[in-house]
Amino acid sequence: MAALISGAGAASMADIVATGETGAAALSVRGLRKSYGGQEVVAGVDFSVPRGTCFGLLGPNGAGKTTTLRCCLGLTAPDGGEIALGGYPVPAAADAARARVGVVPQFDNLDPDFTASENLLVYGRYFGLADAGIRARIPALLDFAGLAGKEGARLQTLSGGMKRRLTLARALVNDPDIVFLDEPTTGLDPQARHLIWERLKRLMAQGKTLILTTHFMDEAERLCDRLAVLDHGRLITEGAPRELIAAHIEPQVVEIFGDEAPAWAKARRALGERLEVAGDTAFFYCRDAAPLLAALPEAPGLRYAHRAANLEDVFLKLTGRELRD
């Protein structure tokens, strides 16, 4: 009997360990709280990122995204809550967790004194990797980043987009399971953004988990399997991009521009389910836009665009249109 009990105990322990290493989420955050100077910046955040998926953390400036990411990486000690990254408790075992993680930070912090390949070599050493192993990976990493043949290029000779791609290559030097990307395409031209998106999709195809923050809703919609909107330190919604659009917003949007647009629209408020006015633009959110579209030709001074509702509409509805600093 005693043997049976202890045997069962051992089995359940083994299950727990096995779950911790493989089955569990890539990142799970429970009840995360963090205050600075009495102000709660993260006020009880819960989310979970299944392995092999892309998770987006959206929110206006100051919403608590950066603090949440810093807590997840073990760089900031939370005031409350539990975090497990790659199966490791954070911050207790943050160094072990970070060994399996890559980070593309918001601001470029490549080494300006080094060439492209020296940047990768030196960064790989921080993971305890041997020089020979890193050097063997460098050509493939640079190739992945669209920087083939740039091994010896000095950093000053690289464009902004190239540096961003080099930062992505650097984040992959330890072949991580999980990659954090903090605004990966901010400041890039459309060509460079599309290249980054294509590479991120390849990483997902390889089974890596991506966790990204962005201010570009098209980026989030395109890449993320699930996303969460954070505001004032709280998650205000979470779901797949399509689900969020269906749940929060009328399917059709008509944007009307022109000096007369706000007055014209306010007089015809009933033509849509919801009307928002910002500057000289009126936004009609409609289930059926036909009556509105039929009325528009009678106002020749106005230009308009009819489109499907998107994530940006959800974001603006949930977090408001006023500026955040």
Partner 1 sequence: MTRSLYALPRPGLRWLPVWRRNFLVWRKLAIPSVLGNLADPLIYMLGLGYGLGGLLPQVSGVSYVSFLAAGTIVASTMNAATFEALYSAFSRMHVQKTWEAILNTPLSLDHVLTGELMWAASKSLLSGLAILLVVTALGLTASPLALWIVPVIFLTGLCFAALGLIVCALAPSYDFFMYYFTLFVTPMLLLSGVFFPADQLPAAVQAVSGWLPLAHAVQLARPLLHGAVPADAALHVGALLAIAGVAFFIASVLTRRRLLK
Confirm if 115 and 152 have CB atoms less than 8 A apart: yes
Give me the residues paired with residue 103 across strands: 180
Q: Which of 40, 114, 306, 317 binds partner 1 (CB under 8 A)?
A: 114
Confirm if 219 and 188 have CB atoms less than 8 A apart: no
Residue 62 carries which DSSP code?
A: T
CB of 257 to partner 1, least distance (A): 41
How far apart CA 181 and CA 213 sit, in angstroms, is 6
Task: Using CB under 8 A, count the residues that bind partner 1.
Answer: 27
Check residue 321 for interaction with partner 1 (CB under 8 A). no
Of all residues in the chain, what percent are helix, strand and coil, respectively (each to 5)?
Answer: 40, 25, 30
One-letter amino acid for residue 265 of the chain = A
Kindly tell me which of 47 and 88 has the beta carbon lying closer to partner 1.
88
Check residue 118 for interaction with partner 1 (CB under 8 A). yes
Residue 37 carries which DSSP code?
A: T
Check residue 10 for interaction with partner 1 (CB under 8 A). no
Residues 123-142 touching partner 1, rule: CB under 8 A, are 123, 125-128
What angle do helix axes 116-126 and 131-144 make, rounded to 10 degrees?
130
Q: Which of 26, 42, 73, 162 binds partner 1 (CB under 8 A)?
A: 73
Confirm if 265 and 275 have CB atoms less than 8 A apart: yes
Kindly tell me which of 153 and 293 has the beta carbon lying closer to partner 1.
153
One-letter amino acid for residue 32 of the chain = L
Task: Select the span of 72-80, 133-141, 197-205, 255-263 touching partner 1 (CB under 8 A).
Answer: 72-80
Q: Residue 3: how many CB atoms within 10 A of its CB?
A: 7
Task: Select the span of 44-52, 73-81, 284-292, 299-307 touching partner 1 (CB under 8 A).
Answer: 73-81
Preceding peptide of 91 cis, ω within 30° = yes
Kindly tell me which of 99 and 277 has the beta carbon lying closer to partner 1.
99
Kindly tell me which of 113 and 280 has the beta carbon lying closer to partner 1.
113
Q: Which of 20, 79, 89, 122 binds partner 1 (CB under 8 A)?
A: 122
CB of 109 to partner 1, least distance (A): 4
- In which residue are the tokens 């890449």 written? 223
Kindly tell me which of 160 and 291 has the beta carbon lying closer to partner 1.
160
Task: Select the span of 2-10, 113-121, 231-239, 283-291 touching partner 1 (CB under 8 A).
Answer: 113-121
Task: Select the span of 44-52, 69-77, 249-257, 281-289 touching partner 1 (CB under 8 A).
Answer: 69-77
x-marked contacts with partner 1 along 17-36 as a string, rule CB under 8 A: -------------------x
How far apart CA 106 and CA 174 sit, in angstroms, is 19
CB of 204 to partner 1, least distance (A): 21
Check residue 160 for interaction with partner 1 (CB under 8 A). no
Check residue 77 for interaction with partner 1 (CB under 8 A). yes
Tokens of 238: 């979470």
Residues 88-107 touching partner 1, rule: CB under 8 A, are 95-96, 98-99, 101, 103, 105, 107
SS (H, E, C) 214-238: CCCHHHHHHHCCEEEEEECCEEEEE
For 29, list phi and psi in degrees, rounded to 5.
-125, 125
Q: Residue 157: how many CB atoms within 10 A of its CB?
A: 11
Q: Which residues bind to partner 1, rule: CB under 8 A?
A: 36, 73, 75-77, 95-96, 98-99, 101, 103, 105, 107, 109-114, 118, 122-123, 125-128, 174
